Amino acid sequence: MSVANSTPTSRFSTVAIIGKHGELGASSAALSELADFLERRGLRVVFEAATAQDLQRSKLVSMTLAQIGQDADVAIVIGGDGTMLGIARQLAPFDVPLIGVNQGRLGFMTDIAFERMLPVLSDMLDGKLESERRALLEGIVHRQGKEIFRSVAFNDVVVSRGAGAGMVELRVEVDGHFMYNQRSDGLIISTPTGSTAYALAAGGPILHPGLGGMVLVPIAPHALSNRPIVLSESCEIVIELASGRDCSVNFDMQSLTSLYHHDRVMVRRSAHSIQFLHPQGWSYYDTLREKLHWNEYPSVLGQLK
């Protein structure tokens, strides 16, 4: 749950700016303006290395994400939710707070409008902000008892069939207890943050990000009785590929590995979390209403009267 941040913003002495690599385009001037704005406030500004390369601006201090994690007090991410997903996963071990500026389509995690970036950030640097933490998942793939792949996910871990293959059969265990064998196109294990992404499209519920849980959502299950289920955040889920061709496991659709028969994917909550900073008055429900177009219904009903 989001709560007012009582920490003085004077702790923000070094601010990192991270853009979407290769797609800055017309926003390059705005990023330079942002850097000038932050420096005028007496803050040290550093750019993520790929962003600095795209800007082609002299006298930039550029850093890798690992260096940003060790040195920056806060990171401003300019892009869409996909950009934020990748950055959040890499900065999670360093516990650097993230501010998202939306330059994409949806903006569930990048909630500051690009055209209002400077005045909103000015208020946030003055202490007018909200803070919340979001959970991540950790997934480990075992083959014949040996670990072959490991990654983290901010939205979801997805076990799925290949594009030209038939259904897969998955054996699912929770905390060492057999849950079911499932024939389907795959299975989504989602964080509350990811409940508004692929899991929602597959028929799963929306989980408030303040909840400590994760949701299992079957993808086009053969048996209609296979329904989404919300599990405790302390659960350890193991998915074994019993049968199926060209299968894989994806982490936020940004990293993946192929699966063979009897490979086991273990998923649990990560030890790391993400801290988001939002403008004062930010509400998760406002975000849902805007992004899912819930606000359209009153106007439709009004036209029917």
The length of the chain in residues reads 305
The whole-angstrom separation of Cα 173 and Cα 176 is 6
CB 43 within 8 A of CB 14: yes
Q: Which CATH superfamily is domain 136-272 in?
A: Probable inorganic polyphosphate/atp-NAD kinase; domain 2 (2.60.200.30)
DSSP string, 191-202: -TGGGGTHHHHT
* Choices 3.40.50.1980, 1.20.1250.20, 3.90.1280.10, 3.40.50.10330: CATH for 3-128+280-304: 3.40.50.10330
* pLDDT range class, residue 105, cuts 50, 70, 90: confident
Q: What global pTM score does this model have?
A: 0.89
Q: Which two tokens stand for residue 165?
A: 């293959």
| Residue 117 confidence (pLDDT) above 60 | yes
Delimit the domains of the chain by residue range. 3-128+280-304, 136-272
Given 54, 81, 156, 252, the catalytic residue: 81
pLDDT of residue 24: 61
**Torsional class of 111: left (φ above 0), alpha (ψ -120 to 50), beta (otherwise):** alpha
132-141, 275-284, 286-295: segment of lowest average pLDDT: 286-295
Residue 48 carries which side chain, given as an amino acid letter? E
Q: CB within 8 A of 163, min separation 6: which ones?
A: 246
- pLDDT classification of 7: cutoffs 50, 70, 90: very low
Q: Is the distance from CB of 243 to CB of 168 less than 8 angstroms? A: yes
pLDDT digits (tens, 9 = 90+) for 25-40: 557 888 889 999 999 9
Segments in 92-195 forming alpha helices (H): 117-125
pLDDT of 195 reads 97
| Alpha carbon distances (Å) from 286 to 99, 262, 290 | 17, 44, 6
Nearest C-alpha neighbor of 218 from the set 207, 227, 206: 227
Alpha-carbon span 148 to 166, nearest angstrom: 25
Residue 95 a catalytic site member: no
Residue 6 binned pLDDT confidence (cut-offs 50, 70, 90): very low
Quick: pLDDT tens for 287-303. 999 888 886 655 555 55
Asked whether residue 3 carries a pLDDT value surpassing 70, the answer given is: no
CA–CA distance, 160 with 129 (Å, rounded to integer): 39
